[in-house]
Amino acid sequence: MMATPGFTGISCLLNFTNEELIDESESGEIAGRLLTIDAYDAALRLRPGSPIYHSWVPVLGFLEALFTDDVYKKNH
């Protein structure tokens, strides 16, 4: 489902919170997990060839996808 074009995890999380399917106190932890998954997926797409999910990604590629360009370049 997450690989579907147009799907955004944040909008899905917001809908679940608005419909009271998850507690607001849990949304921060879930948002953190979602950011990690999105960064992994972005780093995976940067690897040559078709993405193989549940495969390794370079740490620097993951960090570059996780943080903004300014933060990444400042600490790299």
Predicted local confidence at residue 29, as pLDDT: 85
Residue 2 confidence (pLDDT): 65
Mean pLDDT by 10 residues, the chain (76 residues): 73 83 81 87 81 81 84 71
Say whether 56 sits in a helix, a strand or coil: coil
Which residues make Cβ contacts (< 8 Å) with residue 17, sequence separation at least 6? Answer: 24, 27
- Which helix (H) or strand (E) segment holds residue 57: the answer is none
- pLDDT value for 54: 77
Cα of first residue to Cα of last residue in the chain, in angstroms, is 33
Q: How many residues are listed for the chain in this entry? A: 76
With a CB cutoff of 8 Å and minimum separation 6, the contacts of 53 are 44
Would you state the pLDDT for residue 1? 65
Count CB atoms within 10 A of the CB of residue 45: 12
pLDDT of residue 12: 81
